[in-house]
Structure 1
Amino acid sequence: MTTTDLHRLTGAYALHALSDEEREEFELHCAGCEACAQESAELSATAARLGLAASTRARPAMRDQVLRRITTIRQEAPSGVAPPSSVRTRGRARLLPRWALAACLAAAAALGATTVWQHQRAETATEQARQAEQTTDRIAAVLAAPDARARTAKLSGGATGTVVVSASRNRAVLVVSAMARPPHGRVYQLWFDDGGAMRSAGLMDPGRSDQAVLLRGAVGAASGVGITVEPDGGSQQPTSAPLALWEFPA
């Protein structure tokens, strides 16, 4: 393969579309070609962002919930015109019995509590969205780092996984595709290999077959990363044989 051909493989490399032989030859080429190394890293970051966006779907019940809540929102009356119900009851407002007044106060208190609860939920959703955006930015930063190095491995069931590590950022990212769901009550857990001692690097989302995961914690002196199947919530140490092991690329 000529040098000209290698320059044209940045996109295929970012999408993991090269054979093992082509990938190894391209990585050797990138070691001496800063332009190709930078372009392939930027394309990998773009591909990861697009994959993250495409894999995030609204819950199936979201549409029905939105349409149902719309019907509970009263339309605002035209400016200067009082709603008909208020016109009819204005003359009797002072005749409300005590139990009705108490009921109104109770309803107002409940409405206030509901408003606070909805506000808290909105704040929680906003914070979750902010954290997700920060995580996406950190993933993209690792993938686009000038010194980012990648290694791909085949997993069972036709799945593939690529680990990308950046020494300058001291972080690693695992990108998986077509990953089967773990058994009920189990979860995929990631581990750093610290010279044979396994250090937890976080949990994968069991409901997503395609995902990019920022490994929890610094790479440090770790030589690689592995995946095991663990009980919900994860384990302190691996309790099963690894499904896959990656040595970090030099």
Structure 2
Amino acid sequence: MDDDLHALSGAYAVDALPYAEWTLFEEHLRGCAGCGTEVRRLRETAARLAGAVGVNPPPGLRPRLLAAARRPSPRPMLPLLGDAPARGDGLAPPPVARPWAGEERRRKWGQGWGRRREQGPGQGRGWPARMLAGLAAVCAAAAVGLGAVAVDARRDSGGLAAESRRLAEANQRLSDANQRLSDANQRLAGVNRQVAEASQRLAGVNRQVAVLLAASDARTVRRPVASGGTATMVVSRSAGRLLFTSSGLPSLPESRGYELWLMGPGGPRPAGLLGRAEGGVTAPVVVTPLRGDERVALTVEPARGSPRPTTDPILLADLPAA
């Protein structure tokens, strides 16, 4: 079996083995250094032979070769009757019986073929036969080389196609990642805007609180809330500001919120929503009471607020007079 595998090196070098024999020879090649060297040499020879047939033959070579192959060889001339020299007695020699011309030609051609057979191998051939044999060998080598090149080209094209698909998939993943990064940057920019707006509102509230606390008529009022907790108010009629904050209020679901109301002759009007308590204390709300506002109220409303109270007040406190 090993000897048979050694004989497959030539067909393997030009990719001419069926798949089953190719697999067996691949396994054999891993342990046979001699076959590996022979395969490399055969592939180099096939590559050089394939390159050697790149030159086109002269246009008139084929017609000349065919004409030379069809041209008959010169035949020996037979002497004619009566060509013998005259005898001294003046009498012509009696006619000599000649064999039939066809027999003579066969005899002479038979002798010629016998002489050619006696010559060594390779002698006696005409140059057209040698030229045709050389061309056949070159064409066979070129076919082997071109077959190997075609197989390598198919393998290379398959590898390039697979690499192109992997590159396209990598580019698509990179594009998706860039899109996600762009979306994250947009969300971050929105959060930053909200933080900036909240900072501006807080700065405004802080300025109003500072003005309110600095007023000479500022008064602080604390009242209990019916649902639990304490409300703290700071009022200044001269500054025209009311600050409201609370602590200890019960937590509400996301759909509900605490809403502050100012009550005057025209009835209650919305004064703002309390923010979610952090550490049990709501952020301060600064509102501007009107001259006729006498009370402040607190109710539980929808999370986005309501234009009119929808529940009973959990806090109802009088505002200090001027």
Normalising by the residue count of structure 2, what TM-score does the alignment of the two structures yield? Answer: 0.42
For 1:157-196, what aligned pairs fall within 5 Å after superposition? 159-182=229-252, 185-195=255-265
Q: 1:125 to 1:109 in 2, by over 3 A?
A: same
- Matched AA of 2:185: T
Q: Can you list the C-alpha shifts for 1:45-88, whole angstroms capped at 9, x where unaligned?
A: xxxxxxxxxxxxxxxxxxxxxxxxxxxxxxxxxxxxxxxxxxxx
Bigger strand fraction: 1
Percent identical among aligned pairs is 28
1:231 is the counterpart of 2:318: no
CA distance in 2, matches of 1:132, 1:116: 24
1:247 is the counterpart of 2:318: yes
Q: 1:144 to 1:102 in 2, by over 3 A?
A: same
Question: SS state of the match for residue 211, structure 1?
Answer: coil
1:146 to 199, 206, 216: 216
1:117 is the counterpart of 2:117: no
1:148–1:164 CA contact under 8 A, matched in 2: yes
CA distance in 2, matches of 1:194, 1:122: 40
CA distance in 2, matches of 1:248, 1:113: 50
- Matched AA of 1:234: G
Q: Which has the higher contact order (CA 8 A, sep 6+)?
A: 1
1:211 corresponds to which residue? Answer: 282
- Matched AA of 1:164: V
- Matched AA of 1:225: V
Question: SS state of the match for residue 284, structure 2?
Answer: strand
* Bigger Rg, structure 1 or 2: 2
CA distance in 1, matches of 2:168, 2:224: 74
CA distance in 2, matches of 1:183, 1:116: 30
Deviation at 1:187, TM superposition (A): 1.8
Q: Can you list the C-alpha shifts for 1:63-122, whole angstroms capped at 9, x where unaligned?
A: xxxxxxxxxxxxxxxxxxxxxxxxxxxxxxxx8844534543454344344334323322
Note the aligned Cα RMSD (angstroms).
2.9
Q: 1:140 to 1:181 in 2, by over 3 A?
A: farther
Q: Any unmatched runs of 5+ in structure 2?
A: 1-163
Q: 1:236 to 1:108 in 2, by over 3 A?
A: closer
CA distance in 1, matches of 2:216, 2:303: 36
